[in-house]
Amino acid sequence: MNEDKIINALLELSEMAAVSGGEEAAVAAAARYLKTYVSDIKRDCFGNLLAFKPGENATGRPALTIALVAHADEIGAMVTKIEPGGFLRFTPIGGLDPRTLPGQPVTVHGKKKFPGVIGAAPPHLLTKKERGETTPMEKLFIDIGMDQEQAADKVKVGDIISLEQHPVALKNGKMMTGKSLDNRAGIAVLIACAAGLSRLYHSVDVVFIASLQEEVGLRGAITAAYGLNPDLAVAIDVTHGDAPELEEGRFFKLGKGPVVAKGPNLHPALVDRLEKTAGKYFLPVQREPIPDHSGTDAWAFQVAREGIPTALLSIPLRYMHTAVEMINLDDLFNCVKVLGYFIGGLNRTFLEDMKKC
C-alpha cells in the first residue's frame, strides 16, 4: 500500500459518520481494507472488529500475540427533542465543545441522512451581552429545513447526529484537515500496518482491533481486551498538536513524528523498545509524559484479565474534537514504520525478558 493509497483510505474514513454507538460504516470500511492482508476477521459480541494476521513461527511454541487497537468511533450528538418549527435539540456524545458549534453543518441520521446546520443568531439582532457569552449546548438547535410534522416523521428522539466535513489535503501536501481524524488516523495506521507487515517478516501473531465507543469511556476496548487476551497491546490514537494558545509541554509538534507515551498506564519495557526501534531506524518520535489516565484504549487494555503490558503511540493532532482537526501525514507514515519495525523485531524472548525487569 503506497502513501497515496493510505491517504485515499484516510480521506474516505474521515468523511464517513461513525459516532459512538453507530460505528458500522467505519468498522465495515476498516474490514474491507484489512481483509486483503489478514487470514481471518471477526466481530466480538460488543461489535469490535478483530483482524488476525499470524506470524511465521517455526519454534513449535505458541506464538506471541500482540494487539494493535485503534478506536473507530467519533464524537457527535443525539437528538433529544423536536421543537415547534421543526428544530432539533440535541445532547453531546463524547466531548463536544459548544463554542465550536454555531454555524456548524451536521448530518442527522434519521430515516435517511438529512443535512442540517446548527443555528447561529444573526449579529444584527444580538445584544452586546449576548455576544459576550457562550451559547450553552442546551440552547443550541439544529435546522433541517422541515416543519414540526415533517421533522417528527423523518427524525426520532435518539437519532444520531454527526458533524459534516469533507476532508482535504492542504497546500503543502503534508497536512490534512477534516473531522474525526481522531481516530480515523489510527484506523488508517492499522490498515497501512497490515499492508506493510505482509511484506515484512514477523514471528508474532498480530491482531488489528477497531474498537467501539472509546469516546464515551473506552467501552469497546474493555471487552476486546478480555476476549482476545493478547500478550502485548499497543493503542494507536491521537494527541494534542501544537497551537499558540496551549501551555508548553501540553502539545506536540506536527511533523516531528509520532508520540510515544510514558507513565503508569504504559509498560516501561514496551516504551523503551518503541523508542529504541525508532532510534535504530532513524525514525522521528516524540515523547509524551502522562502522569495518570491516558484517556485512551490503553487504559482499558492494561488492566484486562491478569493485566496486559500496553503501550500508546499517538499522532499529534490540532484542534481535537472539532470539524477542523489537522494532522501531518508524515507523522502517520512514521507511526506505521515504527510499528512495523517494532513488530518485526518482537519474539517470545522479549516477553520473557520483560518479566525479568
Cβ of 294: how many Cβ atoms within 10 Å?
23
Query: Is residue 234 within 8 Å of residue 66, measured between CB atoms?
Result: yes
From 42, 43, 113, 139, residue interacting with other proteins (rule: CB under 8 A): 139
Least CB distance to other proteins at residue 165 (A): 7
Q: What is each CA distance from 197 to 55, 172, 224, in whole angstroms?
A: 9, 29, 22
Cβ of 113: how many Cβ atoms within 10 Å?
11
Q: CB-hemisphere CA count at 13 Å for 286? A: 24
From 66, 326, 335, 343, residue interacting with other proteins (rule: CB under 8 A): 326
Helix (H, G, I), strand (E, B) or coil at 52: strand
Q: Among 13-21, 51-59, 83-91, 202-210, which window interacts with other proteins (CB under 8 A)?
A: 83-91
Least CB distance to other proteins at residue 92 (A): 10
Least CB distance to other proteins at residue 278 (A): 21
Nearer to other proteins, 104 or 302 (CB): 104
Least CB distance to other proteins at residue 131 (A): 6
Count of residues near other proteins by CB under 8 A:
66
Near other proteins in 142-201, by CB under 8 A:
143-147, 150, 165, 168, 170-172, 174-175, 177
Q: Among 19-27, 116-124, 220-228, 331-339, which window interacts with other proteins (CB under 8 A)?
A: 116-124
- Is position 104 an interface residue for other proteins (rule: CB under 8 A)? yes
What is the Cα–Cα distance from 189 to 299, expressed in whole angstroms?
Answer: 20
Near other proteins in 266-305, by CB under 8 A:
295
Give the dihedral sign, CA 341/344/349/352.
positive
Nearer to other proteins, 255 or 340 (CB): 255
What cell does 203 get? Answer: 514471528
Query: Is residue 191 within 8 Å of residue 9, measured between CB atoms?
Result: yes
- Which stretches of the chain are DSSP H helices? 3-15, 24-34, 128-131, 148-154, 181-197, 219-228, 268-280, 297-302, 329-344, 348-356
Q: Is 245 a catalytic residue?
A: no
- Is position 105 an interface residue for other proteins (rule: CB under 8 A)? yes
- Is position 216 an interface residue for other proteins (rule: CB under 8 A)? no
Q: What is each CA distance from 62 to 44, 57, 245, 274, in whole angstroms?
A: 23, 8, 50, 23
Beta strands 286-289 and 259-262 are: parallel
Q: Is 229 exposed, middle or buried (0-12, 13-18, 19+ CB in 10 A)?
A: middle
From 6, 9, 10, 87, residue interacting with other proteins (rule: CB under 8 A): 87
Query: Is residue 94 within 8 Å of residue 76, measured between CB atoms?
Result: yes
Q: Among 12-20, 118-126, 301-309, 344-352, which window interacts with other proteins (CB under 8 A)?
A: 118-126
- Is position 244 an interface residue for other proteins (rule: CB under 8 A)? yes
Q: Which of 214, 215, 288, 325 is catalytic?
A: 214
From 5, 40, 62, 95, residue interacting with other proteins (rule: CB under 8 A): 95
What cell does 214 get? Answer: 472509546
Residues with catalytic function: 214
**Residues of the shown chain interacting with other proteins in the complex, contacts defined by CB under 8 A:** 83, 85-87, 89, 95-105, 114-117, 119-126, 131-135, 139, 141, 143-147, 150, 165, 168, 170-172, 174-175, 177, 240, 243-247, 250, 255, 295, 318-324, 326
